[in-house]
Every structure is written in C-alpha cells, then in structure tokens.
Amino acid sequence: MTPTDPRTAATRRSLLDAATDALREVGYAGASAREIARRAGCNQALVFYHFESVNGLLLAALDDVSERRLAAYRDTLAGARTLRELVDTAERVLAEDLDAGHVAVLTELLVAAASVPGLGVEVESRLAPWRRLAQDAVVRAFELVPLAAVVPADEAAHVVVATLLGLELLAGVGAGRTTTDRLFTRARTVAALLEPVPGTGDAADRAPRPRTTEADAGRAAP
C-alpha cells in the first residue's frame, strides 16, 4: 500500500483520533499501543507500522491537534481590531479548547516529557509555533497600546503561552473555570481603560481646527 492509498489514510486517521482520545481520557500512562488500537478498531501492530512507536503516534496526534487549533487561533486573531477584541478572541478560543479537551493532548505529553528520555525535545519543538503565534498577538497589542512595549515581545509571548496553559490546566480543578471567566472580565475592563476613546487624546489633538475668519475675530473681540 502506498501512503496515498485510501485504506492507509483511513487507518492513520483512525489511529490519530484514537490516540488523541486516549490522551484526553486515560492520559499518557494509559495510552498504550493496545489501548489505542482497541479504540481505533485495528491490530496494535499497525501503530508501529505507521508511526514506528507509540510516542511517534502520540506526537503525531499532537501535531494534528496543534495544526487545527493554530489555524483557528490565527483566523480569529486576524479579525481582532482592538485590544478588547483580542481579549474576547483569546477567551473564545480558550473556551473551545477547554470544552473539546484539546489542551489535554499537550499537557499529558508535557508532563511525560519530564521522565521519558527524548520526549522533552520533541514536545519543546512543537511549542515553537505557539510562541510565534503569541508573539504576533503581543505585537498587535503593542500597536494598540504603545506604552506596553516596554516589555520585549518574545518575553511577553512566553508569559502569554504559560498563562494560557496554566489557565487551561486549572480550569478543571474546583472553581478554576469560574475564576478564568472572571479574569477575562477583568482583562476586558483593563483593555477598555488602556484603549483611547475615539475623539480624545492624540487623535483629537491632530484633528483639523476650524479656520477663524476676520469676521469671527471681530465678533470675539471685547
């Protein structure tokens, strides 16, 4: 069978979906070749045939989820025109990730990377596109609020990624989701304070003033 064979593509798709579901529901420790194959409805030997190893399949599942989520983030960020819209966008996509369990795929592999040789390097390389996306968002925010640019964009992007991961991890614990919602509400309040009100500030200073005629000057004289 060639890589373009429909049966090959269907099997790979089933394995990727099964690996993703396994990471979400039973974690890295439970995502064995047998468990994934059971979920995919195929022989576990196909895990190694298509992906060489279980970790190879799990990383491919992370790539698959990341590619789709990165596209979603880029599309929504592209439409944001104000700082408040950026906050709204981040909240909306984060909520989608939480509801669908997308973050579990990454977090399970991040935790496993601390003890599985070689896994850390692979997971780290897959965080790079997220940092670039976060940096793009930070640069956009700096354009809207220039004074915020005192922080280097790459460092701010690291904080953004770490914060979003932390929020997603804590959302499932206790009142974590409610607290996250409150944080975004406060972020919108801060954004409203930072953004200039149309017709005020520099924009008003730059607005053309009506010309004073000789007659006007005469009327204004005491």
Higher pLDDT, 152 or 220: 152
Tokens 């009327």 belong to 219
Are the CB atoms for 89 and 76 separated by under 8 Å? yes
Are the CB atoms for 126 and 41 separated by under 8 Å? no
Higher pLDDT, 184 or 23: 23
Give the up-direction half-sphere exposure of residue 170: CA atoms within 13 A in the CB hemisphere: 13
One-letter amino acid for residue 113 of the chain: A
Going by pLDDT thresholds of 50, 70 and 90, the confidence category of residue 213 is very low
**176-186: average pLDDT:** 82
- Residue 20's pLDDT is 95
Show the tokens assigned to 21: 């579901």
- Residue 201's pLDDT is 46
Q: Environment class of residue 120 by beta-carbon count within 10 Å: exposed (0-12), middle (13-18) or buried (19+)?
A: middle
Higher pLDDT, 107 or 122: 122
Question: Which stretch, 88-102, 122-136, 138-152, 185-199, has highest mean pLDDT?
Answer: 122-136
- Residue 202's pLDDT is 45
One-letter amino acid for residue 170 of the chain: L
| Among 116, 76, 98, CA closest to 165 | 98
- Residue 21's pLDDT is 95
Report the length, in residues, of the chain.
Answer: 222
% of the chain at pLDDT higher than 90: 31
Answer whether residue 210 shows pLDDT above 60: no
